[in-house]
Amino acid sequence: MGMGMASPLLSCAIMALLASVLPPPSVAGDPDLLQDICVADLSSGKPPRPDSVRALCCSQIRKMVQINHVFDLCAGVKVNGFACKATVTEDDFYFKGLGAAGNTSTTYGSVVTGANVEKVPGLNTLGVSMARIDYAPGGLNAPHTHPRATEMVFVLQGALDVGFITTANKLVSKTIAAGDVFVFPRGLVHFQKNNGAGPASVISAFNSQFPGTQSLAMTLFAATPPVPDHVLTTAFQVGTKEVDKIRSRLAPKKA
């Protein structure tokens, strides 16, 4: 075998060896778990209640050691996700909220019922979650993104116009019906609209315990504190009256 042939074969062998020993790229939106389970302690990131014994003790500790400016041990544990709680029960892995349709009497005629780590603490570190979305006739799940997850929807009933927009501003859209599946890539703006005369519903699956949702309209026009008028008027090439009108329509309804 000549040297000309040996060199490419050697390179291929090295690449194959590296591929067999290096860890594969993660296919989940969340880091891999390092233990069997880590049921979320949903209070782990919260400071103590002002009237609790812990709050009283923390107050005295701060006065004595004066470490507020360095690291506040009493502010709650801050981690990427949630700390593990000590006592685990079967209910930490159970949720029955997706069986019934939600109330679609909303601004857009749709409602999302989530089954993420906040509802199912046992999902902590497992990298998955679900949701049910219900739509009134003509209802819209307004353009939004999930910064931490890819989404896959399965249509339970009805027909919907769905789509996402790539970073090159290309719209990828399709009409889907009962039994169909459609995928929205992570981080891309997407939407679903009920195009039928009756109600519609889907089940969504995510590769993150907490996908996060940013609605474009709410993010820009209902932020707290508000996005400056001059930013919105320049971005959308409209006047302040139009901005105020949109804000008033998206403002939370008073009880």
69 is in an annotated binding site: no
Chain centroid offset of residue 233 CA: 29
194 is in an annotated binding site: no
146 is in an annotated binding site: yes
Structure tokens at 107: 């601004």
124 is in an annotated binding site: no
Amino acid in the structure at residue 177: A
Asked if 156 and 196 count as a contact pair (C-beta separation under 8 A), the reply is: no
State the binding site for oxalate. Answer: 141, 146, 151
Please report, in range form, the residues annotated as the binding site for Mn(2+): 144, 146, 151, 190
Binding positions: 141, 144, 146, 151, 190
